[in-house]
């Protein structure tokens, strides 16, 4: 695999500066955000690289599990930062959903499909978990925000259905379905475009490292299937308890938790 030196990194970072100049010339704004994001990327990825090097050499299962929990923690915090309209008990619902949804997907992939030995092999476990978490974050953010928005938009309709004898689940079903569809769109679009519009990062990285293209394709198909299943399960685990938070024990809609979406 071709080496990328520090001087090469400096050279490609010039494209960030070039982008900043173009943004400045066209007065579009956002230069500070781009510069901050690029510096965060640089620091975070370098730190992650050194940490992974250490973990690969130590191979301590408890330490690896701790790293996975830290990854999950920051994933949930990131989802919270993306969402403007939050569900009741947002962090508890989203955190539990991502723990179960992504944990199940990771276990299925590494233990049942790949049969890792030992199960905590960090060279596989950490990157694969990261890919599953990263995609589940997008689905979780879309599901949580869309449900909150749909409940706010449909609150009059939901109350009318409740008055006509519908259960909270029946009255909220349209909002739940809309949120589920929104959460699944990125995974569906990614699968539909792979191999025709773009070559995914995992597959490209494996090919560049010398892996046979057919094996790289098998890995990519496998990870995408697991990602889709994890996103679907995480979304369900957010939406099903999520809508209940908008109702009292007497099955009355809590309008104080809703605001009209503009």
- Are 163 and 231 found together in one domain? yes
Domain stops at, among 20, 35, 58 = 58
Instruction: Report whether pLDDT(260) > 60.
Output: no
In a domain, 86, yes or no: yes
- Are 44 and 70 found together in one domain? no
- Are 94 and 196 found together in one domain? yes
- Are 20 and 144 found together in one domain? no
In a domain, 251, yes or no: yes
Domain stops at, among 41, 58, 75 = 58
Q: How confident is the model at residue 261 (pLDDT cuts 50, 70, 90)?
A: very low
Judge contact between 138 and 79, C-beta under 8 A: no
- Are 144 and 20 found together in one domain? no
In a domain, 262, yes or no: no
- Are 82 and 35 found together in one domain? no
Instruction: Report whether pLDDT(96) > 60.
Output: yes
Rounded distance between C-alpha atoms, residue 225 and residue 186, angstroms: 13
Q: What are phi and psi of 45, to 5 degrees?
A: -70, -40
SS3 per-residue string spanning 107-131:
HHHHHHHCCCCCCCCHHHHHHHHHH
Average pLDDT for 165-170: 93
246 Ramachandran zone, left/alpha/beta (phi>0; psi -120 to 50): alpha
Share of the chain above pLDDT 70, in %: 98
Model confidence over 38-93: pLDDT tens digits? 999 999 998 988 988 888 887 889 999 999 999 999 999 999 988 888 888 899 99
Q: Which two tokens stand for residue 110?
A: 């590494």
Mean pLDDT of the chain: 90
Model confidence over 200-244: pLDDT tens digits? 777 878 887 788 889 988 999 999 999 999 999 999 999 999 999
In a domain, 219, yes or no: yes
Q: Which two tokens stand for residue 261?
A: 């979406």
Nearest 5°: the CA angle 81, 41, 142 is 30
Q: So what's the pLDDT on residue 177?
A: 95
Q: So what's the pLDDT on residue 237?
A: 96
- Are 246 and 165 found together in one domain? yes
Q: So what's the pLDDT on residue 1?
A: 63
Q: How many domains does the chain have?
A: 2
Whole-angstrom CA distances from 165 to 53, 141, 170 are 60, 31, 10
Domain that holds residue 28: 1-58
Model confidence over 8-51: pLDDT tens digits? 988 999 999 999 999 999 888 888 999 999 999 999 998 988 98
Q: How confident is the model at residue 259 (pLDDT cuts 50, 70, 90)?
A: low
- Exposure b/e, 162-199, CB count within 10 A at least 16 = b: beeeeebeebbebbbebbbebbbeebeebeeebeeeee
Q: Which two tokens stand for residue 134?
A: 């990263």
């Amino acid at each position: 695999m071709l080496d990328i030196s520090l001087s090469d990194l400096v050279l490609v970072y010039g494209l960030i500066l070039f982008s900043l100049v173009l943004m400045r010339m066209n007065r579009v704004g956002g230069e500070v955000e781009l510069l901050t994001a690029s510096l965060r990327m640089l620091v975070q990825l370098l730190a992650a690289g050194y940490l992974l090097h250490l973990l690969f050499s130590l191979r301590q299962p408890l330490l690896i599990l701790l790293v996975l929990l830290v990854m999950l923690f920051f994933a949930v915090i990131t989802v919270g930062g993306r969402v403007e309209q939050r569900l009741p008990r947002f962090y508890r619902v989203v955190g539990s959903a991502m723990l179960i949804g992504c944990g199940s997907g990771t276990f299925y992939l590494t233990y049942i499909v790949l049969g890792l030995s030992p199960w905590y092999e960090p060279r596989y476990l950490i990157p694969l978990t990261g890919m599953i978490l990263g995609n589940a974050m997008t689905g979780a953010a879309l599901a949580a925000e869309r449900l909150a928005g749909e409940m706010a938009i449909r609150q009059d309709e939901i109350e009318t259905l409740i008055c006509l004898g519908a259960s909270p689940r029946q009255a909220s079903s349209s909002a739940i379905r809309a949120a589920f569809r929104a959460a699944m769109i990125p995974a569906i679009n990614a699968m539909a475009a792979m191999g025709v519009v773009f070559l995914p990062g995992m597959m490209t990285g494996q090919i560049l490292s010398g892996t046979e293209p057919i094996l790289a394709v098998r890995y990519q198909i496998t990870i995408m299937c697991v990602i889709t299943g994890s996103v679907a399960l995480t979304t369900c685990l957010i939406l099903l308890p999520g809508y209940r938070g908008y109702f009292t024990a007497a099955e009355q809609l809590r309008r104080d938790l809703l605001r009209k979406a503009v």
